[in-house]
Amino acid sequence: MASQTILVTGAAGFLGSHLCDALFAEGNSVIGVDNFSTGNRDNVAHLASQSRFKLVEHDITRPFDPGKVDYVFNLASPASPIDYSRLGVETLMVGSAGTVNMLDLARKYNAGFLHASTSECYGDPEVHPQVETYWGNVNPIGPRSVYDEAKRFSEAAAMAYHRYYGVNTHLVRIFNTYGPRLQPNDGRVISNFMIQALRGEPLTIYGDGSQTRSFCYVSDLIEGILRLSRSDEHLPVNIGNPNEFTILECAHEVLVATGSKSELIFKPLPQDDPTRRRPDITRARAVLSWEPSINLRQGLEKSLAYFKACTNGSSKH
C-alpha cells in the first residue's frame, strides 16, 4: 500500500501504541493523539525522534483538526475497570463527543474510520459464545455502564455516519487482550496475576474462579484490526481468541509461566462482572481470513520480560 497519513487516538495507550508501531513499520506517517489520562508517553518514546511520527497532547472531546488524513483509528478511552471507575464522566464523554468529533474529521477528509469497540457491549451475556448479532445484556445504570454504554453509543454513531454520510467506518469488538505495555496496575486479570506472581504475592481471584475469559495476545489483535480497516465490512466484527479459560485456569497458566509458588486468595465478585466471555470469530474468519496464532502460554512467555521490568522498577508505568 502507498504511504498514508494516519491519525491514531489513544496513541500512548496499550493498544494504541502497538497500532502506531504497526502502521509506522508499514511506511505510513502517523499522528498520535492522547490526553494522557491513562496513556503513557513511554509507550511511544521510541517513535518520538522519527520524522514520520508526531505525538499531540489533546483531549478529543474538543474538536481537533490536524489537516488532511487518510485514516482515523479511534482508540481513545479509559479501558480498564479501575480507570473508567475513576474517570466515569470522562469515559462517557470520549465515547460520545470524542467519537463524533473524530467521525466529523473522517467525513471532512473522506478518510477511513475504525472505532475500537469492546466485548463489554455484550454485558453479562446470555448467549455463549458471543456473536455480533447478539444485542447484549448490559446494565445501563450500573457501575460499568459509563464504559459499556459509551462504547455502544460509539457503535451507533459510526453506523449512522456510514448510513447517512457515507463514511467508510469499521467497528472492532475487542475481547480481553494482553501483552507488553499493558498497565501493571489496571485491575485486569492478566496484569494482576502476572505482577502478583512475580512478586510472590497471593493471586487474587474474584468470585469462585469459575467465570471465564478468552485472552488474545496483542500482536494477533493488531493484525485483526489492520485487516478489518482495509475490508469492506461495516458491521461489528469480534476480534479475540476463542480459547476459553476459567479464571482459575488462567491463574495456573500464570504460575507456570512465571515459576511462582504464589497461593490463591478469593474475594467477592464485583457487581455486573461478566460470568462468561468468549468470542465467536466466524465473521472474522470469513471476512478477514483472520484467527489468532498465539496461545495463552506462548503469550504469557512473550509478556514475561515486560512484567518483570514492571516489578523491579525499570518500567515507568
Q: At what angle do helices 247-258 and 296-312 cross, to 10 degrees?
A: 60
Catalytic residue among 71, 109, 147, 217: 147
Active site residue 217: no
Give the whole-angstrom CA distance, residue 147 versus residue 121.
9
How crowded is the C-beta side of 172, counted as CA atoms within 13 Å? 29
Rg for the chain (alpha carbons), in Å? 19
Place of cell 469492546: 118
DSSP the chain: ----EEEEETTTSHHHHHHHHHHHHTT-EEEEEE--SS--GGGGGGGTT-TTEEEEE--TTS----S--SEEEE--S--SHHHHHHTHHHHHHIIIIIHHHHHHHHHHTT-EEEEEEEGGGGBS-SSSSB-TT---B--TTSTTHHHHHHHHHHHHHHHHHHHHH---EEEEEE--EE-TT--TTS--HHHHHHHHHHHTPPEEEETTS--EEE-EEHHHHHHHHHHHHTSS--S-EEES---EEEHHHHHHHHHHHHT----EEEEPPPTT--S---B--HHHHHHH-------HHHHHHHHHHHHHHHHHT-S--
Active site residues: 147
